[in-house]
Amino acid sequence: MTTHDTHRVPLSPTPRTTLTRSKERGVDDRAALDAVLDAGLVCHLGVLLGGSPVVVPTIYGRGGDTLYLHGSTGAGNVRAAIGADVSIAVTHVDGVVYARSAMHFSMNYRSAVIRGKAVLVTDDAERTEALRLIVEHAAPGSWDRVRPPNRKEMAATMVLALDLTEASVKVRTGGPNDDADDVETGGVWAGVLPLRQVWGEPIAADNLEPGVEVPAEVAARGTPESVAAG
């Protein structure tokens, strides 16, 4: 796992990650890739399973130049990814763009696509660190508060690592790109309907014993002012 600071480093797209459409929306700053990944909660893993493509939503964690995924040792899609070329996508929708013509409707978004070979992590220390990163990515502040995985749980869990070298980032912001004739004709509303996610109030487990309070990091995340990742 690489731990050096990767910010302010340009992306180095390969032919597989070089944009061919809407190139103006491409972002070549490595910090933009980190920002998209760090703001997300779920990625979509594309892999060939039995000769057919399958796309699986899964949580993840990032450590420097490495993206970590985990799954059950009994999961066929995870086993199929070991040593295979895979594709991972993370997308945030920030708004629907309403235009004056059907062809110019769009969305404002931030997205990243990573290509590469998924490597099975076998080192115990790295596997533990990867699981910590995944838990902390989804639920910051939780790893040190709860019981860590035991030997049986670790044996039932596979961890995959994907290098972030081969990646592309696209971002769209702003209003509609209407044709001049449609703008001149007028009479049709155009603009952006923003979209955001917000955390709700924490809901305690049905079997939670009395007197156990909501952890501070969970309570803070669930305030009405808190905007969910993405």
CATH homologous superfamily of 23-178? Electron Transport, Fmn-binding Protein; Chain A (2.30.110.10)
**Positive or negative torsion for Cα 129, 215, 60, 91:** negative
Instruction: List pLDDT tens digits, range 128-187.
Output: 999 999 999 999 999 999 999 999 999 999 999 999 989 999 999 999 999 999 999 989
pTM for this model (two decimals)? 0.84
Backbone angles phi, psi at 37, to 5 degrees: -65, -45
Q: What's the pLDDT score for residue 5?
A: 46
Q: From the CB of residue 80, how many other CB atoms can be counted at a distance below 10 Å?
A: 17
Q: What's the pLDDT score for residue 77?
A: 84
Q: What's the pLDDT score for residue 6?
A: 42
| Domain range summary for the chain, segments of one domain joined by + | 23-178, 196-230
C-alpha separations of 149 from 63, 69, 78, 124, 137 in Å: 19, 16, 19, 12, 16
Q: What's the pLDDT score for residue 61?
A: 97
Backbone angles phi, psi at 156, to 5 degrees: -90, 5
Tokens of residue 165, six digits? 């070298």
Tokens of residue 182, six digits? 């449609």
Please give the chain's pLDDT, 230 residues, in tens: 444 444 456 666 666 555 555 555 556 778 899 999 999 999 999 999 988 999 999 999 999 999 999 999 888 888 899 999 999 999 999 999 999 999 999 999 999 999 999 999 999 999 999 999 999 999 999 999 999 999 999 999 999 999 998 999 999 999 999 999 999 998 999 999 999 988 989 999 999 999 999 999 999 886 655 555 54
